[in-house]
Amino acid sequence: MPEINKNMYISIGSENNKKKEKEVLSLPLTEKELSAIEDQLSGEKLLITKFKAYSQMCSDSEIKQKCDTIASQHQAHYDKLLSFLN
């Protein structure tokens, strides 16, 4: 898990469809927000680990594929949360 820095900022971007310009506003994260993101990261990491393990235990290929898909979805959530911290 990445180390959470108290001085991290979240970037909120919007894209103008006509000009394709990105506007980014950086706001400092509060302790509560950092703690919430840290908790979410931990939860997502746990779900990734569990569904990968479930996939390895499955003998049914359909259930195995579903577990792999769910693990990938949680990996995407984890990556998205990390992107808020960069």
Question: Could you report the per-residue pLDDT of 56-72, keeping only the tens digit for each?
Answer: 999 999 999 999 999 99
- What does DSSP assign to residue 72? H
The answer to whether 44 touches 81, Cβ cutoff 8 Å, is yes
Domain ranges across the chain: 9-84
Question: Could you report the per-residue pLDDT of 19-60, keeping only the tens digit for each?
Answer: 554 555 667 888 999 999 999 999 999 999 999 999 999 999
For residue 81, pLDDT beyond 80: yes
CA angle 54, 56, 61 (to 5 degrees): 90
